[in-house]
Structure 1
């Protein structure tokens, strides 16, 4: 049962600030590594390996991270994960500063960062409903998405400035500093204790029982099962191929860093405006329809990206993709927070993390090598058409209509 607290606005602001600062540093590293690998190798296979090392460990750890988030102090889990990621980044910076430049070092750092994300993601998703009233979640999530999108607008420019004027090592040091600041801010947040009577006493529920209980819950909950399948489609067919857009820019339009930067800025501006619109408007009353519609829009925009023959047009489509993202991600996150019981949220968000982390490398394992054999343009067009057909067919066929009807019944009125 959620209990509203008078200090929830202050607590939410403190939590969002800590996560924004930490995320900003992580974004710098994400862009810098992606650009570094793209410019140094120009290889789709290398990008595919980076995606595998960056996402697959998260899928494995999320199996346990979701259970930990429902059994342990979520704030402590987030702080511990941030500290581990910062330590790994610092170690990589020092090694590269000493002259080491092997690809496996970057891959190893991506693995450790991915492990930290597997612990952190379920805890972050489940902690916010502990401090924010249920009827304010959509707007707070919208505000959070807008702030993070604004950071995404600043991060590419900052990453490009540091990377171009200094080195990737300098970017790593910035990430360590932002992680320390984020940890300090989060340490000052008082999070109410999540009471689960079944965990107390000599006959308390064991870890394995919690894990199996989460699996049964996700498998039997129509809306959760439906949304996990939709996440898989989006991440395999849309997110994974979009990871190749920097490679398309380098191959088709030129290897200048400013072009890669504008690509990310266009996407981020779209996300800022989309998040602001959602936070102000609140979205459609029928949120399931909004989630499905945004997925279909993703498919159409992927085709548009692949068919772009002028760089400005390409950036325009990237802007539209960013504009559509909050209507999928923020809406789906909010409905899960509103629908799933607080004591189950860690495990459910853990399963979301597993699907996202598995789908990304699976998609890249297919599309990365294809991008070395064919053009990135053809990969984007194909993935967009398949997305449109899969989602459109699933919604139009009787089983899909029944699933959507059942999903709507779980969503709040």
Structure 2
């Protein structure tokens, strides 16, 4: 009985280890490429537009990834995409300095985020197949912790490497990470039953998404409200942190790349602590109280703006922004794990990959729009960046308070 309910069985452990290595390579790359672009151009508007373009493929390919996760061997998806990423980074390495910088970066970031969007549904859909139902929330929390642990180490190490040697060693390290992760994932066994396919892949995608939509519309219409809320929250709050943090630290406060790396590490550490806390108190968490976590995120962004408004010394502003980044990410992780677990437990196994991918991708729709808008706003309010943060925080407070009733309904549907 003990073995049956054990969380870290062989295959789940291999998935976790592969995720650690792969996501570390991803984290160090996602840190270095946008920072390199921001340093080279110095334009907040361009930075916001490029990051927005980068996120767009993830939104579309996450849904396709969900369909693939339910119809193709999940291990093969992970292996193939990790090997493909290693090859793409090698091509980028050889092209950097030889091709126009802006188009090259947009193309590379779009490919990286697109692959990530296709990849993650396979990981999410494999968790219910590798852990017992009573360990499902703990399993989700572990995967989330892996993501944040890699995000913790990636920016810190990336910041030091970028400051000392530039971008090329980071590209080499990322290639090694993705190749090694792919080799390790070859040995994972994920239960898989091949489904017959008599239609083209596009017809299959359309059919599967239609089936998922029908299920949500007839059985779980509240999922639409949840995904709309998260999309708006991503547009208003998540986007301001993604675009604003590097601009505030490297341009407004004039801090080094290493210091920015520590802030990104603090973000990941907050997520790691949030994941650990989720696993520890999983049984005590109530969906009806989830709105409080979003209020904490909004408050964190407001506190980032206050020292800038009061013109406190740069180093104090830096540490306040770093602490608030940690706090916001911790609360966000607690929220996300609860929502993921709720969707997984209320969805038929054959639809989990598609519905998880669809909900995640639709929820992310607001983020690229927000990133492009905030890039322009940070350029417009260069001398008063605190205005952007405070307005975003106030809007997020109002959205969260308005959604309190929704979380009560979610809690009732989960019982």
Q: Same fold (TM over 0.5)?
A: yes
Structure 1 residue corresponding to 2:394, chosen from 385, 392, 400 = 385
Match of 1:398 in 2: none
Which runs of no fewer than 5 residues in structure 2 stay unpaired? Answer: 309-316
Deviations 1:293-350 (A, max 9, x none): 2112111111111212422222221221122122112222222222211111111122
Cα distance 1:207–1:270, how it changes in 2: closer, same or farther (>3 A)?
closer
> 1:201, 1:25 → 2: CA distance?
38
Shifted more, 113-122 versus 169-178: the winner is 113-122
Note the C-alpha offset of 1:32: 0.3
Note the C-alpha offset of 1:406: 3.6
Aligned length: 397
Q: Is the 8 A contact 2:235 2:369 kept in 1?
A: yes
Alignment of 1:192-341 (within 5 A): 192-194=191-193, 199=196, 206-220=204-218, 221-243=220-242, 244-282=244-282, 284-286=284-286, 288-309=287-308, 310-341=317-348
Which runs of no fewer than 5 residues in structure 1 stay unpaired? Answer: 396-400
- 1:409 partnered with 2:412: yes
Q: Is the 8 A contact 2:7 2:131 kept in 1?
A: no
Match of 1:153 in 2: 152
Cα distance 1:57–1:201, how it changes in 2: closer, same or farther (>3 A)?
closer
Q: Is the 8 A contact 1:42 1:247 kept in 2?
A: no
Cα distance 1:41–1:283, how it changes in 2: closer, same or farther (>3 A)?
farther
Q: Is the 8 A contact 1:121 1:353 kept in 2?
A: no
> 2:290, 2:86 → 1: CA distance?
34
Q: Is the 8 A contact 2:159 2:258 kept in 1?
A: yes
Match of 1:107 in 2: 106
Deviations 1:43-83 (A, max 9, x none): 22122122222110111222322222222212212222222
Cα distance 1:290–1:155, how it changes in 2: closer, same or farther (>3 A)?
farther
Match of 1:169 in 2: 168
> 1:159, 1:277 → 2: CA distance?
27
> 2:156, 2:105 → 1: CA distance?
22
Q: Superposition RMSD on alpha carbons, in Å?
A: 2.3
- 1:26 partnered with 2:50: no
Deviations 1:204-250 (A, max 9, x none): x9543222111222334134223212320221111100011110122
> 2:8, 2:146 → 1: CA distance?
18
- 1:72 partnered with 2:81: no
Structure 1 length-normalised TM: 0.89
Q: Is the 8 A contact 1:222 1:410 kept in 2?
A: no
